[in-house]
Amino acid sequence: MKRWSVQILFILVCLLAFPSISPAPLVFRPGEGWTYERAGSEGKWTRTRAKDQLEVAQQAFDDGKYDMAFKAARRVVKVWPLSDYAPEAQYLLGRTYEAKRQDEKAFKAYQEVLEKYPKATNYEEVLERQHEIAVRFLDGQWFKLWGYIPFFPSMDKTADMMTKVVKNGPYSEVAPQAQMDIGAAREKQNEFGQAVKAYEIAADRYSDRKEVSADALFKAGMAYHKQARTAEYDQNAAAQAIAAFTDFVTLNPDDHRVADAQTLIEGMRYEQARGSYEIAKFYEKRKKFDGALIYYNEVLVKDPNSSMAILARLRIDDLKRRLEEQ
């Protein structure tokens, strides 16, 4: 034990006696924490004024030296958090993360700009960058484990990002599209009910923006239509889809999608009528003619001009005659 103690003591003495040959890449600064610096570069990038430090960060970013840009920008935020240069430095942290393809961290860095510095002059630009990041995830980009390892796409996380964009600036330029993108993310999960809610919020909140309102109504109808066609035909979802498309056509008669909406309405009405016709046949086979008549009449109400309606009228006439003969 004594021998090992002597050896350890000897090594420590050597290290203390010859500091110049022991480079220390990890440097600690109060208020900043530990940073990695190459031997011989310690302190070369640091400045004593926030303005000068931000200039170092910006120049490093422009030169593609993103590690240096990050350190310099972070120092501005840590050492001079209340200075006029802190918002721009925090924004530069986000830009640096983006340049290094660490989009989740970039989004969070931009979020700090908006929360800590709500009067930042580039507030709208920060929102746009957040939205662009969220769109990349909406398009299928994978989220990263620990910020580095591509792990999986997630529409839940994407929808949360879009929601933050909307909350950060509900009446900003990007907010309407971000609200619509929440619906798109939910559709990719086949969560059509949540998608419709997102579209309805967009249609209501941005009713003064005709293009947004029209797009929201149409997409709400499409989401209902998709829901109606999943598994067994959902009559309630079909009815809601018809209502949404009808509102769309009524409020936007000149929209290029009106013909598509009308075709979809006709198709869903036919499916509704067919469903009622099948139920009527079920009752008729079991000699429950009163019930059969009710559903044959529903066919006439739901799609009076269809071929199914012609068949329903024939069955109604036949059943009435048979009932009279009883």
Task: Provide the pLDDT confidence category of residue 28 given band limits of 50, 70 and 90.
Answer: low
Q: What is the pLDDT of residue 5?
A: 52
pLDDT for position 97: 97
Task: With CA atoms as reference, report the closest residue to 162 among 138, 195, 194, 187.
Answer: 138
pLDDT in tens, 99-132: 999 999 999 999 999 999 999 999 999 999 999 9
φ/ψ of residue 45, rounded to 5: -95, -5
Structure-block tokens of residue 86? 């802190």
Over residues 201-221, the mean pLDDT reads: 97
Measured from the Cβ of residue 35, the count of other Cβ atoms closer than 10 Å reads 17
Q: Quick one: which of 101, 68, 75 has its CA closest to 90?
A: 75
How high is the pLDDT of residue 136?
A: 98
- Highest mean pLDDT: which of 7-11, 35-39, 249-253? 249-253
**With 90 as the cut, is the pLDDT of residue 20 above it?**
no
pLDDT of residue 200: 97
Report the range of poorest mean pLDDT among 175-184, 211-220, 313-322.
Answer: 313-322
CB 36 within 8 A of CB 23: no
Q: Which region among 2-11, 262-271, 316-325 has the lowest average model confidence (pLDDT)?
A: 2-11
Task: Report the distance separating Cα 204 and Cα 224, nearest Å.
Answer: 17
| pTM for the model | 0.80
Q: CA-CA distance, 322 to 326, in Å (whole number)?
A: 6
The amino acid that residue 111 corresponds to is: Q
Portion of the chain with pLDDT greater than 90, in percent: 72
pLDDT greater at residue 191 or residue 15: 191
